[in-house]
Amino acid sequence: MQKKTLLAGFALLGALALTATGCAGTSGDGGDAGDAGGGDDVVTVGFAQTGSESGWRSANTESMKDAFSAENGFDLIFNAADNDTAAQIAAVRDFINQGVDAIVIAPIVEDGWDDVLQEAADAGIPVILEDRTVSASDDLYASWVGLDFKKEGVMAGEWAAETFGDTPTKMVVLEGTTGSAPANDRAAGFDEAVEGTAIEKIDSQTGDFTRDGGKTVMEGFLQKYGVDGIDLVYAHNDDMALGAIEAIEAAGAEPGVDIQIVSIDAVKDGMQALVDGKINYIVECNPLLGELAAGLVTDVLAGNDVEKQVYVEDQTFTQEQAAEVIDSRPY
């Protein structure tokens, strides 16, 4: 099935969700989900979120809760697994046992989903993946909606390659959660973009997409290499970049000047750091996926056809571009 690329922008998401089409499927109890948001039937949806590890994740959760609201005809059963894969899989099994109409999952990691997705399929409960992907067969879920993580990494790497050119550059990487799709793909995309340049990755470690994790890892890097031994930080998300800023400042250095930073997300705090010159470049990862996910659930339960992959396109921001838009952004 062909990939479907959507233009970025919060204003477009709702409109696009209304025109999204969905893959044949039935609800666990035979209820008609086509009336969600406009009829008398209530569609029960279980949503297995990763946790609340970052500002991006909080914005994503709010988007999902807004879209799957009672006002829109849904009964949302929400679970945040605190980045515990076993707990997240257990939550999905609980949704199945409750006989929900549909399940939406933001998988913490890519692997280990085959059995529980098969259980959902056997129960006749369609699954929509949101944000992150899985390595299981795509026959086990109806659709996925999210961002092109590898492209995000490529865009960050292209900025680094253009900025540093042939200048020997020592880079450290703050990785996302080990085994997660964004961590894997953002690493691969960035490495692809800087291949053949003078940028040398001297160290790479997971900060689990958290600000505290980013700070702790960056403190370790600074102790190991010193301020003068690091030219560039590549952070897989803004929260880790913000933690790195704290560590750099505590070491008596100036983030964005003594050590440059490129990050991914474009959440409010990250954009403010970019405006302030503490981050040098940000690639967006739009968290407002709720209306698209709700549209897919509604269409799947109605027996319509949906694209297997629904992409939202990301933007990039320099300091000047961030200053122009920061006050108008919804996250």
Structure-model confidence comparison of residues 241 and 31, the more confident one: 241
Q: Give me the mean pLDDT over the 308-320 stretch.
A: 95
Mean pLDDT of 131-160: 97
Q: Does pLDDT of 187 surpass 90?
A: yes
Task: Output the pLDDT for position 72.
Answer: 98
Which has the closest alpha carbon to 306: 288, 289, 323, 294?
A: 294
SS3 300: helix
What's the one-letter identity of residue 300?
A: V
Residue type, 79: N
Average pLDDT of the chain is: 90
**Residue 212 pLDDT greater than 60, yes or no:** yes
pLDDT tens per residue across span 177-186: 999 999 999 9
| Strands 74-80, 316-317: pairing kind | unpaired
Angle, alpha carbons 271-272-277 (nearest 5°): 95
Q: Mean pLDDT across the stretch 268-294?
A: 97
Asked whether residue 205 carries a pLDDT value surpassing 60, the answer given is yes
* Higher pLDDT among residues 39 and 321, named by residue: 321
Q: What number is the average pLDDT over the span 50-64?
A: 93
At 133 the three-state DSSP class reads: coil
Query: 265 to each of 96, 113, 286, how far by Cα in Å?
Result: 32, 26, 7
Segment 164-172 mean pLDDT: 96
The answer to whether 208 touches 53, Cβ cutoff 8 Å, is yes
How many CB atoms sit inside 10 A of residue 196's CB? 7
Q: How far is CA 148 from CA 3, 174, 182, 275, 297, in A?
A: 11, 19, 9, 25, 21
Residue 218 sits at the vertex; the CA angle it makes with 53 and 253, to the nearest 5 degrees, is 125
The H or E element that residue 242 is part of is: helix 238-250
Tell me the β-bridge partners of 173: 204, 234
Residues in contact with 327: Cβ distance below 8 Å, sequence separation at least 6, in sequence order: none
What are the φ/ψ torsions at residue 98 (nearest 5 degrees)? -80, -10
Dihedral sign of CA atoms 192, 196, 199, 202 in order? positive
Would you list the DSSP string of 55-123?
Answer: HHHHHHHHHHHHHT-GGGTEEEEEEE-TT-HHHHHHHHHHHHHHT-SEEEE--SSSSS-HHHHHHHHHT
3-state secondary structure of 284: strand
With 0-12 CB in 10 A as exposed, 13-18 as middle and 19+ as buried, what is 169? Answer: buried
What are the structural domains, with CATH classification, of the chain? 4-147+286-313 (3.40.50.2300), 149-284 (3.40.50.2300)
